[in-house]
Copies of this chain bind each other. A is one copy, B any other.
Amino acid sequence: MSGTAPTAAPVLPIRGRFRPLGLDEVRVTGGFWAERQKINGVATLEHIEHWLEREGWIRNFDLAAHGDLSRDRRGREFSDSEVYKFIEAMAWEIGGTGDAELESRFRAVVRRVAAAQEPDGYLNTKFGRPGQAPRWSDLEWGHELYCVGHLLQAAVARARTRPGADDGLLEVARRAADNVCETFGPDGIDGLCGHPEIESALVEFARTTGDDRYLAQAALFVDRRGHGRLSDVEFGREYFQDELPVRQATVLRGHAVRANYLAAGAVDVAVELKEASLLEAVRNQWKNAVARRTYITGGQGSRHQDEAFGGDWVLPPDRAYSETCAGIGSVMLAWRLLLADGDPQYADLIERTLFNVVSTSPSADGRSFFYTNTLHRRELGTLPDADQPSLRAAASLRAPWFEVSCCPTNVARTLASLTAYVATVDDEGLQLHQYLPCTVEHRLADGRDLCVTVATDYPRSGQIRVRIDSDDDHPWSLSLRVPDWAAQGATVTVAGDTRPVGPGVVTERRTWRRGEEIVLSLPMAPRFTYPDERIDAVRGCVAVEYGPLVLALESVDVPGIQTVDEVRVDTSQPPRLVDGRVTVRCRRVHPQNHEWPYRTDAAESAPVVGQGLDEVALVEYHAWANRGPSTMRVWLPTVPTSRNVPAN
């Protein structure tokens, strides 16, 4: 709450509709996310360190410092970035908890990284040494700039949570960033990285250091993309967004992580340089991607082949890729747009994605992860070897580690900095975007304090009670987001007055006194959700949602079936809450098997509808696959009734 210390948040735009709060200004006091943050800070960070050591990805830096790297280097070309994301995660965690033991582990890893830096600032264990490919010789796939980007993000996290710390990380990052600017500046290599990340990182590094040279370099990278400077590849240049300039694209496309990271960097550049048309282009891409290329979970990417967005409406649940990192990238992008524009729709998508993608990836113990997040598993998966990295990104169950292990470290840094997404301020007051039990304390520039306590067990229930903890003689505004799913029945109560509110933002401007309360009540009846009919892959199906949570039918909850594909939902009865679980009325179907599955007689193709399974309990999607191998569906075929057939 010092006026001079930097705000301890990952994104600090120079301007925009809202200003972020730091990790020290929002304190989580319990609930859904506190539990996940605790597991993340203890189990997941330890787990990651174990695997980074075991796989030799930290040791690569030691080898680089002592020679002989080219022979013994281990891991993929981007393994350095996992070490950096681990450092970033530790920085946020230390910033939030002050954990002294973690601080010493942090410093040890930073020392090993720093020792590998070349005299001119270049830092990458894969390129440039005798026996290795030359520096910058494979911009398409080499990930060198991508790795520098994650190094900068780690240094930014540290500089904002422990300003002035003597660990040397900021200097290492500065020398690496300078090397990038010298190498890729206006007079340098006219190139860019196959995997965006450096753009956003350079902007944030400029914000942290105050040196606009990094911002100019980020803008240059954004401008260079989209003109075919990268070689064509099997998936097309769309794969790395190099087929069309950012300013001209109308929808997110190609590799879904790359697409979101690039768009986030473009927003950063646009905000800093007041480039309204660039911001408008990304805003439009985001809108179209959300309207046509996003799963109900918030997941993005429907193509395994190139980990890419599919075309409009191509959203097969059984081949959903929905990479965890794409979900994280989507949160990064939406947060930047929310800060710039203030539109609650961005916070709606953040909420959906946090609950249904980011929190789905890690297992309950924080030691295994989904890389992809399918919406339909047809066959019982097999438990990945707990002692081996999974070869396949699309592991059927959560795996401890991957050969391409971007997701665990990305989850770790996101959960460690999660409170950054909860609240913001502007000149009028305080905005709450996400609901969890917490305290928020912010000192305005004029020295006034805005303090509130949020009490809720959301999303278990829909009541969010915000108590004012500061006195002020001046009026200020407290704004609460009413989620888009709360279309009917939400109310807000202030000073005994209750009134209905619709989706969007409800703002109360008053001269708030300590102890006063505002209560938002969201309608928590479970509900059926119907897909746009252009999504061919789920025609004739419904999903079930409860508040911000997407639910799923998991076979372990339905005794006596072979697979969830035997279950049909009767939508003539709405889903119900029974003993804390959402249930739907179901019937079991028995397929008719033919040697050829296409029939002239429609009746021969339809399954025989059997007697009811009656009420079947659904599982929260984020919690599925925690009870051993199972089959699972988010989109449930319906028993045809007059209610679910659109009128002719």
Q: Hey, which bits of chain A sit against chain B, CB under 8 A?
A: 232-236, 287, 290-292, 294, 296, 303-305, 310-314, 316-319, 345, 348, 376, 378-379, 391-393, 484-485, 487, 527-541, 543, 565, 589, 591-607, 609, 635, 637, 639-641, 643-648
Within 8 Å by CB of A601, from B233, B393, B530, B543, lies B530
Given the contacts A290-B595, A596-B291, A597-B531, A603 and B646 also touching, CB distance less than 8 Å:
yes
Closest partner residue, chain B, to A292 (CB atom): B597
Complex interface: chain B residues within 8 A of A565 (CB)? 313, 534
- Given contacts A291-B596, A319-B319, A533-B591, list 12 more A-B pairs with CB under 8 A: A233-B391, A290-B596, A291-B593, A310-B319, A348-B596, A530-B604, A532-B599, A536-B538, A539-B540, A602-B644, A603-B646, A641-B648
- Docked CA distance A646–B527 (Å): 25
Q: A645 to chain B: which residues have CB within 8 Å?
A: 640, 645
The answer to whether B537 touches A537 (Cβ under 8 A) is yes
Assess whether B236 is in contact with A392, with CB atoms less than 8 Å apart. Answer: yes
- CB-based contact B609/A648 at 8 Å: yes
Q: Which residues of B contact A528 (CB under 8 A)?
A: 600, 602
- Cα–Cα, bound, A304→B319 (Å): 11
Whether A234 and B391, one on each chain, are in contact in the complex, defined by CB atoms closer than 8 angstroms, is yes
Task: Provide the bound-state CA to CA distance between A191 and B540, in Å.
Answer: 49
Query: Taking A303-B304, A643-B602, A646-B606 as contacts, is the C-beta distance between A313 and B378 under 8 angstroms?
Result: yes
Quote the shortest CB–CB distance from A647 to chain B (angstroms). Answer: 7
**Within the complex, which residue of B291, B316, B598, B635 is in contact with A595, where a contact is CB–CB below 8 Å?**
B291
Q: Which of B345, B391, B527 contacts A232 (CB 8 A)?
A: B391
The docked-state distance in angstroms from the alpha carbon of A21 to that of B318 is: 45
Q: In the complex, A602 Cα to B643 Cα: how many Å?
A: 8
Q: How many copies does the complex hold?
A: 2
In the assembled complex, the Cα of A540 lies from the Cα of B646 at a distance in Å of 12
* Complex CA distance for A311 and B487, rounded to whole angstroms: 38
A533 touches B318 (CB 8 A): no
Minimal Cβ-Cβ distance residue in B for A392: B234
**A294, A348, A606, A643, most chain B CB atoms within 10 A:** A606
Q: Which residues of B contact A539 (CB under 8 A)?
A: 539-541, 637
Q: 6 tightest CB-CB pairs across the interface, nearest first?
A: A606-B646, A532-B597, A530-B605, A305-B305, A530-B602, A304-B305
Q: Report chain B residues within 8 Å CB of A348.
A: 596
Query: Can you report 22 A-B residue pairs in the complex whose CB atoms are below 8 A from each other?
Result: A234-B393, A287-B595, A314-B318, A316-B316, A376-B536, A528-B602, A529-B599, A530-B599, A530-B601, A530-B604, A533-B589, A533-B637, A534-B597, A536-B537, A536-B541, A536-B635, A536-B637, A603-B646, A606-B646, A606-B647, A640-B645, A641-B648
User: Whole-angstrom distance from the CB of A516 to the nearest CB of chain B?
Assistant: 34
Q: How far is the CB of A165 from chain B (nearest CB, A)?
A: 41
Residue from B485, B527, B646 within 8 A of A640 (CB atoms): B646
Question: Do B392 and A530 touch across chains, with their CB atoms under 8 A apart?
Answer: no
* B537 pairs with A540, CB closer than 8 A: no
The closest CB in chain B to the CB of A605 belongs to B530
Identity of the chain B residue whose Cβ is nearest the Cβ of A487 in the assembled complex: B600
Q: Is there an interface contact between B319 and A536, defined as CB atoms closer than 8 Å?
A: no
With A314-B318, A598-B543 in contact, do A534 and B641 touch (Cβ < 8 Å)?
A: no
The complex places the Cα of A310 from the Cα of B394 at a distance, in Å, of 14
CB distance from A22 to the nearest CB of B (A): 31
Alpha-carbon distance A54/B345, docked complex (angstroms): 55
Residues from chain B with Cβ under 8 Å of A319 in the complex: 303, 310, 314, 316, 319
- Residue among B313, B529, B532, B597 making CB contact with A535, cutoff 8 Å: B597
Once bound together, how far apart are the Cα atoms of A316 and B315, in whole Å? 10
Instruction: Give chain B residues whose Cβ lies under 8 Å from the Cβ of A484.
Output: 596
Which of B290, B538, B597 touches A291 (beta carbons < 8 Å)?
Answer: B597
B529 A591 Cβ-Cβ under 8 A: no
Residues on B with beta carbons closer than 8 Å to the beta carbon of A601:
530
Measured between alpha carbons, how far is A643 from B529 in the docked complex, in Å? 26
- Cβ-defined contact, A533 with B599, below 8 A: no
Smallest CB gap from A296: residue in B: B598
Shortest Cβ distance from A355 into chain B, in angstroms?
Answer: 15
- The smallest beta-carbon distance between A283 and chain B, in angstroms, is 12
Given known A534-B591, A646-B606, contact A312–B640 (CB-CB < 8 A): no
Among A235, A292, A348, A605, the most chain B Cβ lie within 10 Å of the Cβ of A605
A282 to B537, CA, bound (A): 31
Chain B contacts of A637 at CB under 8 A? Answer: 533, 536, 539
A132 to B215, CA, bound (A): 47
A533 contact set on B, CB distance < 8 A: 589, 591, 605-607, 637
- Closest CB of chain B to A204's CB: distance in Å? 29
